[in-house]
Each structure stands twice: as structure tokens, then as C-alpha cells.
Amino acid sequence: MRLLHLIPSVDPRGGGPIEGVLRIHEALARMGHEGVLVSLDAPDAPFVRDCPATVAALGPAVAGYGYTPRLVPWLKEHASTFDAVIVNGLWQYVGFAAWRVLHDSDTPYFVYSHGMLDPWFKHRYPLKHLKKWLYWPWGEYRVLRDARAVLFTCEEERLLARQSFWLYRCREVVGSYGTTVPVQDAQALSAAFHAAFPGLEEKRLLLFLGRVHEKKGCDLLIEAFARVAGQQPDLQLVIAGPGEEQLVSELKRRAEALGIAARISWTGMLTGDLKWGAFHACEVFCLPSHQENFGIAVAEALACSRPVLISNKVNIWREIEEDGGGFVENDTLDGTVALLQRWLATSPAELDAMQQAALDCFDRRFQMDQVAQNLVRIVHEYSPRGVAHATS
């Protein structure tokens, strides 16, 4: 098949959505399927040039909503050459443009909501939610209603999506999500990370890797770490990821006030070998998020045999708890402290068992090849045209 992936941006600083799209694209290519990405980025953006996939960048778009007049004409000209169109995310012009062009056409479109219907946003940002309500009936509601299917990464995401807007109708399908198996030369990758950030070789590393955003619970992690850091002098928290300068500065000031600034290493965004090296160098991965649709970094940690310490607002928490691949607590300070205390109380033998359970959990549930196979199956099931093209 030929699949068209619509996404607001291919900038890797955007976190999970583009990372997931690229991994699905790679897995589909291994299966013999062709894919093209369309984004709203400026064509001359460095990250467009460096993107490993074929990208049609139709921006620069208007900030925020991402409107660009080039998208609808491009879709009218090219969409019919694809077997299906995959819209990634909500509240951006890519979705409404896809609806305008495709809702009554022969080319089916599917939507990954990427957790953007989670009711946490409604409660956390009530004014923004009111603005979304003004747009919802004539915009996003239609995008979801007329899609061949709206794809949810897990059952928890599907159930939560029903709680944000009372006007809600779509064909819900629970697929799966995950990541590609990383390079497994753990010793070399860990050594590369330590070479880049010397002084951490003899430390027990607790890793946070992802966007430094208020929903991720980084403030909880720093506060909780301050409460347990005195128990063992070799503990070190590594916070790896991009973030808004103001928030990062606030978190650093809080660490200073708590007297643990020297116990936290801020690496900035890590990619490639350094990212995988951070996973292999750490003992456990922690994400006490207030809202997390899936958590690509959680799956990446599992793939590196690293137990995960997560909140029960990470939507795949049930699967991880069931498989014994980590610990789960509430997204509160007490819950985050409990996560760290449970980790520190784990014996070496128990930690070894959790490492194996983490890898088994990844292999069973979050292999990207399985995700790609599920996507192909869904396109076949809900699009006879896709079946015809794939079997012709």
C-alpha cells in the first residue's frame, strides 16, 4: 500500500507523535509498504532536511492552529494516489484539511488522536477547553465522525476520549503502539553516554527522558527525589529532554532550594546513540506524568530492559503492572515518593527479574512491527480500496 501520514511538524523536539510516525513508517517500509509524510513545516527547516522519511513540507504555517493555504490544494492533487491517509493529532489544520478534501472521496482517512481527547486537558485548562468547544461542532467533531476509524493506542485512551465532549461520535478502534527495537550493544552505548557526561559512571541513575512539560510531573519527580536522595549518596537523577526555558529554570531553582542541584544532571535533548546510552546507563526510568496517552519513552525503556516507575495517568500502566515491568502509583507527590521508595527497597535479584519482565512486556505488547501489522489490518478492514490495492 501507499500511505500518507499527515502531521503538524516533523521536528523531533515535538516528542512522541513524530517519533511514533517515523517508527511506524520504518516498520511499514520493512513490510514493503510505501509512505510519505506531509507536514506544516517550512520547507527549508533543518529538521525537514534531516528527516529520514520523504517529507512534503507545506509551510510555514500560522503558529498555533497551523493553517497553510497550500495543504488543501496539495491533498486534492495527490491524495487519490494513496490507499489511505493517516491524520496524526487533533486541533491542527491537518485534520480539518483532510476532512475537507476526503470526507466524501474514495480515499479513506484514519485519525490517531494521540491522547488529545484526554479529559485532563479539560480540567487543567478550562479556558482553552471553552475555546475548543467553540471549534468542536463544526471542526474536530466532523473530522472524527467522518473518519473511517479513529485509532486509539490502548483501551484506557479510548475510554477517556469519551469524557471530553458530550457531542462525540466516531468509529473507535483500539490498535496498538510502540517503538522499534533499539540497538542492543548496551555496554558500548552506555560507555558513549558516560563519555559525553563524565562523572556518572559510579552512580545509580534514575532517568527521566522526554519533553520537560508541566504535564510530565517533573516537579513531582524533583520533590520526591529530594526526599529519598539522602538515603543513598550514589543516587543521581538525570533529566534528559527539551523544555521551555522558563519551566526548566523554575525546576532548577527548586532543586537549588531543596539542596539537590548537584544530584541532578540536565543533559538537554538526547538523540541516537546518546539517547539509547542513557536508557542502558540508568537503573530505572521514571515518568510520574499527569497525562500520558502512551509514552514512547516508556516503551523505549522497556525495550532496553529497564523497569519503569510511572503514574497511573500513563495510559499503558495496566499492561506494565500486569507484566511486572515496573511500579505504578498515583500522580501525586506521595505517589512519586512511593515509586522511588519501592525501587530503592528492591533487592538486586528482584531488580534482575524486573529487567527481564520489562523486556518481555515490550516484546509481547509494544514491538513496532506488530503495531505496523495492526495498522495494515485496520486499513484493510475499514477500507476495501486498501485491500484491493494491497492484494493486486
Arithmetic mean of pLDDT, 193-198: 96
Q: Is the pLDDT of residue 370 over 50?
A: yes
Choose the weakest-confidence range: 160-169, 170-179, 255-264: 170-179
pLDDT at site 124? 83
Cα–Cα distance measured from residue 219 to residue 61, given in angstroms and rounded to the nearest whole number: 33
For residue 312, which phi and psi values (nearest 5 degrees)?
-85, 15
pLDDT at site 387? 44
Paired residues of 327 in beta bridges = 309
Q: What percent of the chain has pLDDT over 70?
A: 97
Arithmetic mean of pLDDT, 166-187: 84
Cα–Cα distance measured from residue 250 to residue 262, given in angstroms and rounded to the nearest whole number: 16
Reported pTM: 0.81
Q: pLDDT by residue (tens digit) across 154-173?
A: 888 888 899 999 999 999 99
Contact 296, 40 (CB under 8 A): no
Cα–Cα distance measured from residue 215 to residue 211, given in angstroms and rounded to the nearest whole number: 10
Q: Is the pLDDT of residue 312 over 60?
A: yes
What's the pLDDT band for 84 if we cut at 50, 70, 90? very high
Contact 91, 97 (CB under 8 A): no
Q: pLDDT by residue (tens digit) across 320-367?
A: 999 999 999 999 999 999 999 999 999 999 999 999 999 999 998 888
Which span out of 4-8, 24-28, 125-129, 154-158 was modeled with the highest average pLDDT? 4-8
- When the pLDDT of each residue in the chain is averaged and rounded to a whole number, the result is 91
What's the pLDDT band for 388 if we cut at 50, 70, 90? very low
pLDDT at site 391? 32
Cα–Cα distance measured from residue 382 to residue 377, given in angstroms and rounded to the nearest whole number: 9
Arithmetic mean of pLDDT, 238-261: 95
Paired residues of 85 in beta bridges = 4, 109
pLDDT at site 295? 83
Paired residues of 205 in beta bridges = 236
Q: Is the pLDDT of residue 237 over 70?
A: yes
What's the pLDDT band for 183 if we cut at 50, 70, 90? low
Residues near 136 by beta carbon (within 8 Å), at least 6 away in sequence: 165, 167
pLDDT at site 294? 80
Q: pLDDT by residue (tens digit) across 90-125?
A: 999 999 999 999 999 999 999 998 888 988 888 888
**Cα 111 to Cα 4, 14, 41, 219, distances in angstroms:** 12, 18, 20, 32
Arithmetic mean of pLDDT, 223-243: 95
Q: Which domains does the chain have, with CATH numbers?
A: 2-179+368-391 (3.40.50.2000), 186-365 (3.40.50.2000)
